[in-house]
């Protein structure tokens, strides 16, 4: 293969080529940097290019190969990190002007895990201010564009990560997800994204304030985005690893294999709200393909689905959002003020007692889902009930924001439940990617990967024609 085409390869293939000495990490990096220079001016997916340090890392990676040293699973492979995650020597600015000089002196544990796995860090990905919109735009970094169609959002908050991976800047990018911030950009950009089980990937920023809100502690997770399921597995494996900096994080031994043939619950209309016909069709098409592959697929009603989605604001708004509102009020970013203001109109103030009640209800719903998943170890739903939104829909008025929130019910429900889920692309509708959400019980990410591999086999992810 021509060295300038190496960016097209999967992370797994690049790691194999580098390990075998067939190509160098430096060649791979230069191919990705050339691709970045070609497409990023149109996307603004990468807001800080780390070319100089990446070349040093790639040279060291090649020296390790020549010396016959032990090599990690991502040895020599370019990876991007998000601007709200501590990365040594880079600002953890969270797309906020007042934080632009907050430079991390230590890697967050997940970045340290990626570094230990041999990753080469190519750049920092764009996010909305405070990482709290489904649209990636900020006063500090500007707008990240969807590589399929610039008229539509690339998703948020990991929109830069989704756009970078889709466009071939890097095969794997790191994101985080509290209300769909990995899954929604993956959906909008036509790539795979994993929201792991709570506690599988460590999360801690040395630059953060000394406490973390309760809802952020239980709803927010870290995970990878990638063009290939094999790379999603690879990125997830590289990110995991318990650390004393995140006492919630655990190393997990594989659980007992489920009974075969595996039962899959299909939910093309998972709740009370209308589903776009193209998305409903995508879910049913996946069901047909899984059935043809030997799975037992049944279209069923999911337990307490809308109730789970409604718990998100009950838990998060009096806590993490109320805390953020103080910072947003002092920000000069008018779009985040307007967007969160409409959230508040849709989700009025609740006292802390309502949040505590919602936390109790959360456990009841988790129990109902665990019982349900004894029969159906895998569930397939929409990711969003609509194709990707037009730019700045959330800035129009409260009624429009309310409709957006309704469409994001599958994202919000799974954030509340805390179960693992993969956003898997299935194709295009009117030039926009569509896909499905593959859900499994806690710590059963392998089942999500298994189903996503079947989906990928029937609908390989194309690279946008940039």
Task: Look up 215 and say whether it is catalytic.
Answer: no
pTM for the structure as a whole: 0.98
CA 45 to centroid of chain Cα atoms: 14
Q: Quick one: three-class SS letters along 135-179?
A: CCCCCCCCCCCCCCCCCECCCCCCHHHHHHHHHCCCCEEEEEECC
What span, in angstroms and rounded, lies between the C-alpha atoms of 247 and 373?
Answer: 27
Contact, 269 vs 300, CB < 8 A?
Answer: no
Active-site annotation holds for 230: no
pLDDT confidence of 132, banded at 50, 70, 90? very high
Q: Mean pLDDT across the stretch 140-169?
A: 98
pLDDT at 448 > cutoff 90: yes
Q: Point out which residues pair with 421 in neighbouring strands.
A: 195, 439
CB atoms within 10 A of CB 63: 11
For residue 1, pLDDT beyond 60: no
Average the pLDDT over 437-466 and give the result.
96
**CA-angle at 336, arms to 203 and 314, nearest 5°:** 60
pLDDT one-digit tens code per residue, 18-72? 999 999 999 999 999 999 999 999 999 999 999 999 999 999 999 999 999 999 9
Residues 204-218 have pLDDT tens digits of 999 998 778 889 999
pLDDT at 233: 98
Indicate if 116 belongs to the active site: no
353-386: pLDDT as tens digits: 888 999 999 999 999 999 999 999 999 999 999 9
Q: How many residues does the chain have?
A: 466
Helix (H, G, I), strand (E, B) or coil at 427: strand
Contact 169, 154 (CB under 8 A): no
Neighbouring CB atoms inside 10 A of 325's CB total: 16
Residue range 455-464: mean pLDDT, rounded = 93
Measure the N-to-C terminal CA separation of the chain; round to a whole number of Å. 21
- CA 418-187-410 angle, 5° bins: 40
The single residue of 181, 215, 388, 415 carrying the catalytic annotation is 181
- The full set of domains in the chain, from first to last, is 3-239 (3.90.1300.10), 263-423+434-450 (3.90.1300.10)
CA distance 100 to 93: 5
Mean pLDDT of 80-96: 98
Q: What is the pLDDT, as a whole number, of residue 211?
A: 79
List alpha helices for 168-276, DSSP H. 183-189, 214-219, 229-239
- Residues 182 and 220 sit within 8 Å (Cβ to Cβ): no
Closest listed residue to residue 145, CA positions, set 116, 171, 169: 169
Q: What is the pLDDT of residues 384-429, one digit of tens each?
A: 999 999 999 999 999 999 999 999 999 999 999 999 999 999 999 9
Which residues, in sequence order, are CB contacts of 387 under 8 Å at separation 6+?
A: 152, 276, 278, 279, 429, 430, 432, 434
Tokens representing 163? 């756009």
- Catalytic residue, chosen from 31, 157, 215, 220, is 157
| Residue among 10, 24, 82, 215 flagged as catalytic | 82
Q: Which strands make up the sheet holding 46-49, listed edge to edge?
A: 46-49, 120-125, 78-82, 172-177, 221-226, 192-195, 421-429, 432-440, 378-382, 263-266, 296-299
The C-alpha atoms of residue 267 and residue 279 are separated, in whole angstroms, by 11
Judge contact between 177 and 217, C-beta under 8 A.
Answer: no
DSSP H or E segment with residue 100: none
State how far the Cα of 422 lies from the Cα of 180, in Å rounded to an integer. 11
Is residue 284 very low, low, confident or very high in pLDDT (cuts 50, 70, 90)? Answer: very high
Question: Taking all residues of the chain, what is their mean pLDDT, rounded to a whole number?
Answer: 96
pLDDT in tens, 392-401: 999 999 999 9
Query: Quick check: 164 pLDDT over 70?
Result: yes
Using the CB atoms, write b or e for 133-158: b if 16+ within 10 Å.
bbbbbbebbebbbbbbbeebbbbbbb
Confidence (pLDDT) at 417: 98
Q: What are the CA-CA distances from residue 410 to residues 70, 256, 439 (Å)?
A: 42, 28, 11
Instruction: Give the mean model confidence (pLDDT) for residues 241-250.
Output: 93
Query: What pLDDT does residue 351 have?
Result: 81
pLDDT, tens only, 291-329: 999 999 999 999 999 999 999 999 999 989 999 999 999
């Amino acid at each position: 293969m021509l060295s300038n085409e190496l960016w097209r390869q999967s992370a797994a293939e690049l790691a194999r080529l580098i390990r075998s000495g067939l190509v160098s990490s430096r060649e791979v990096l230069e191919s990705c940097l050339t691709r970045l220079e070609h497409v990023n001016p149109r996307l603004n997916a990468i807001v800080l290019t780390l070319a100089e340090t990446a070349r040093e890392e790639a040279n060291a990676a090649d020296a390790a190969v020549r010396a016959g040293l032990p090599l990690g699973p991502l040895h020599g492979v370019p990876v991007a990190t998000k601007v709200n995650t501590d990365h040594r020597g880079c600002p953890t600015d969270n797309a906020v002007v007042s934080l632009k000089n907050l430079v991390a002196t230590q890697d967050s544990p997940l970045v340290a895990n990626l570094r230990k796995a041999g990753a080469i860090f190519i750049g920092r990905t764009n996010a909305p201010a405070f990482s709290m919109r489904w649209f990636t735009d900020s006063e500090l970094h500007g707008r990240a564009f969807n590589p399929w169609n610039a008229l539509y959002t690339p998703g948020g908050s990991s929109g830069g990560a989704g756009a970078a991976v889709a466009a071939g800047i890097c095969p794997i990018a790191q994101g985080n997800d509290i209300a769909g911030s990995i899954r929604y950009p993956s959906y909008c950009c036509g790539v795979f994204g994993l929201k792991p089980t709570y506690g599988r990937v460590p999360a801690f920023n040395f630059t953060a304030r000394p406490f973390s809100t309760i809802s952020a502690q239980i709803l927010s997770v870290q995970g990878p985005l990638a063009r290939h399921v094999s790379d999603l597995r690879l990125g997830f494996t590289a990110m995991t690893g318990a650390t004393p900096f995140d006492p919630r994080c655990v190393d997990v031994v594989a659980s007992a294999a489920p009974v075969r043939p595996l039962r899959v619950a299909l939910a093309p209309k998972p709740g009370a709200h209308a589903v776009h016909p193209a998305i409903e069709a995508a879910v049913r098409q996946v069901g047909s393909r899984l059935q043809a592959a030997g799975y037992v697929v049944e279209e069923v009603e999911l337990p307490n689905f809308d109730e789970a989605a409604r718990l998100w604001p009950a838990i998060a708004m009096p806590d993490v959002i109320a805390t953020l509102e103080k910072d947003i009020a002092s920000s000069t970013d008018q779009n985040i003020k307007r967007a969160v203001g409409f959230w508040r109109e849709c989700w009025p103030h609740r006292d802390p007692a309502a949040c505590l009640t919602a936390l109790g209800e959360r456990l009841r719903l988790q129990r109902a889902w665990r019982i349900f998943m004894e029969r159906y170890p895998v569930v397939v739903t929409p990711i969003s009930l609509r194709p990707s939104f037009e730019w700045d829909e959330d800035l129009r008025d409260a009624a429009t924001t309310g409709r957006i929130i309704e469409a994001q019910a599958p994202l919000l429900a799974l954030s509340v439940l805390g179960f693992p889920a993969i956003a898997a692309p299935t194709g295009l509708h009117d030039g926009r990617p569509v896909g499905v959400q593959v859900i499994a019980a806690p710590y059963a990410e392998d089942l999500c990967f298994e189903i996503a591999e079947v989906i990928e086999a029937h609908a390989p992810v194309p690279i946008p024609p940039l």
